[in-house]
Structure 1
């Protein structure tokens, strides 16, 4: 290579050649962010893989709910947390979005239930007291469905019993709720064995439907003929058999409740199935009444007052209740121009028959009930009003035989048929009193009064005569009698002459009697002395 002019010579140097840097060469300093990115990605993937399901729960109010703090608990174990609380689109409810743990995926089924746990007092039970310090949380209860779900409507109140509790649920029909509420207890022989779980008004508005849950093993005592009744407070009833007071436990008196029992005559039947429907009675007396299979309806037409007779009053046959009063009416007979009181009754023929021989169910007295009724009426069967309780004045109807009753027949031309009656005891007494008063009215009391006045005047004259004439003579006679008695008393004194003479005379009589006894003894020994005399007398 030629040197430029004017420069000294220098040794030859190698010529530098520029080498381009590789685009894929990594600096060591970049390892740290790469590792950080890898770890972050791994954590993100792990978080996604371990993330639990998200659910939305609608509540009527957001009271007690707080995003990021309110927990979701199942059996008091945290299974999730509320992430957000917002209003619904229509602003009528609150929507809580919650994230649950991964293991809770199989718990979110169609009938899973959620509710806010806060302090509550309902149906005599107190719950959620612990939340006063720890704060409210959302309770969770598992369902039995197999269909999954992610959106729910929260319960306004906690369920009475958790799922999986052994027992059975039954349905009760009632006219009204009384003092009952969700959580009210159910008693069996005064032992609490269940509670009311829900209630609702019937669609026709004529009654209510209650659901009760009976815990095991007591649910086996609910049978097909079991009777349920209101056990709230104190049940006081006035009937023909006096005053009755029935009470349950103190809890039932304070907060109300239900009770059930199976009649002894139908005990031992199969257990009732789940959700069997029963009728809820007002009290135990009504519930435990015998439910007869055969019911005949008759009418008793009374002419006397039925004051004290009420619907439900018993129809009695010689001390046995064989029916009850169903209705009381009034009737006007336009021909005779008279009012009467028809009383419609329900008669139970089964109670006239005996079941102890065969043990089977009772039935009718005869295969032909019309013919049997006619025979009974022909032999004096009548209905009569009687007083069941003098204190309350309540009446009942007695069926009995009255042989002296006028002849009568059953009136089959009307529906229900009419059975003849006889006046009650009070009515008969009233008729007798009326008849006596009528007879007394026929007595001429005015004439008798005049005669009585004349008799009293004659008696007054007689009394005057006795005072003026008879009484003085009577006084003189009594004075003379007194003098005679005094003389007799003086003569009878021990020192009187009469008494002394009498004593001497008695002595002489005694001597004479002794001489006669001596003579009698001698003559008894010597009877010949009457003829010959004594031997000494012949000398």
Structure 2
């Protein structure tokens, strides 16, 4: 396997792991130079313990091309943060491209990918540190200039004086607030007494209203039978006054008889006015003069 960049911290005997499980060690690290283009490569040879990896269907070396096709890759990872030593981590990374150098050796080549540390270093290189330092320096210079401004010292003094005045004002307010609180408590007490007096007046009034309501209810209950009788009487009157009814005919006949009797009584009364002696002698026996 070939790693781009420095392999500082990787030593012979460094562990080779697969998802955290040690499956081998680094057996050799060399430098190889191409005489044509003078490029330099650092091949790293590792020794995998076949007993640590069980592969169905044959020897691990025979299965390696298929495993690479499925995404098997190698990368450098930090072994110890204190010592800075590195190790080689094997894992399946199907989303990465398999880059092979293709040197003709007796060892099978495993593609490598950039480590997290390498990616971090590249990202760090993209940060404009010089520009950031320049800006920070300018900001610090402005802060120093601002702090040395006499107007700032005067503003600080004015602020301190304002704080003192505010503290004095708070004390004065507290002196006036305490009596007001006492008056407010007294007013609340008077309000409580007023509520109690109102309640004392309302309770008898409510009792009187209840008695009156009960009396009205009893009167209404007693009036119900009379109302029922009146309703019956109105019903009888309606039956008597209904045009064409038997009761109406009887009533008309009775009224006619009463009218005839009334006329007879009227005639008799007029006769008595003219002849009062008829009450003694009888009708038709008046005294001759």
- State the TM-score, normalizing by the size of structure 1: 0.32
- Corresponding pairs, count: 213
| Structure 2 SS opposite 1:419 | coil
Instruction: Measure the CA separation in 1 of the matches of 2:216 and 2:36.
Output: 116
Change (3 A) 1:474 1:409: closer
Q: Match for residue 305 of structure 1?
A: 7
| Higher RCO by CA contacts (8 Å cutoff, separation 6 or greater) | 2
Is residue 492–residue 499 contact of structure 1 (8 Å, CA) maintained in 2?
yes
Q: Does 1:346 align with 2:13?
A: no
1:357-405 Cα shifts (integer Å, max 9, x gaps): xxxxx732586x5xx52x5445432212234456766543221123454
> Unaligned 5+ residue runs, structure 1?
1-298, 356-361, 529-539
From 2, 6, 18, the equivalent of 1:317 is: 18
Q: 1:481 to 1:440 in 2, by over 3 A?
A: farther
- Alpha-carbon distance change, 308 to 346 in structure 1, aligned in 2, over 3 angstroms: closer
1:491 alignment partner in structure 2:
183
Match of 2:201 in 1: 512
Q: Secondary structure at the match of 1:307?
A: coil
Kept after mapping to 2: 8 A contact 1:316/1:397? yes
1:363 aligns with 2:54: no
Residue by residue over 1:139-171, the C-alpha shift from the partner in whole angstroms, topping out at 9 and shown as x without a partner, is xxxxxxxxxxxxxxxxxxxxxxxxxxxxxxxxx
Between Structure 1 and Structure 2, the one with more helix by share is 2
Structure with bigger gyration radius = 2
Counterpart of 1:410 in structure 2 is 100
State the distance in 1 between where 2:131 and 2:115 align: 27
Q: Structure 2: how far apart are the matches of 1:450 and 1:386?
A: 42
**Structure 1, residues 424-466: CA drift from partner, whole Å, max 9, x if none?**
444444445544xx33432322333355457666875654443
Partner of 1:248: none
Residue in 2 aligned with 1:330?
Answer: 31
Which residue matches 1:267? none
More strand by share: 1
User: What pairs up with 1:117-516 in 2 under 5 angstroms?
Assistant: 299-310=1-12, 312-332=13-33, 339-347=40-48, 351-354=52-55, 363-364=58-59, 373=65, 375-388=66-79, 394-405=85-96, 407-415=97-105, 416-435=107-126, 438-443=127-132, 444-453=135-144, 462-468=155-161, 470-471=162-163, 473-475=165-167, 477-491=169-183, 498=187, 501-502=190-191, 504-516=193-205
Give the structure 2 partner of residue 204 of structure 1: none
Say if 1:344 and 1:485 are closer, same or farther in 2 by CA, change over 3 A: same
Q: Is the 8 A contact 1:381 1:401 kept in 2?
A: yes
| 2-structure distance, mates of 1:393, 1:475 | 59
Q: Are 2:74 and 2:89, in contact at CA under 8 Å, matched by a contact in 1?
A: yes
CA–CA separation in structure 2 for the residues paired with 1:319 and 1:500 = 78
Secondary structure of 1:483's counterpart equals helix
Where in structure 2 are there 5+ consecutive unaligned residues? 218-289
TM-score for the superposition, normalised by structure 2: 0.54
The answer to whether the 8 Å contact 2:2/2:101 transfers is no
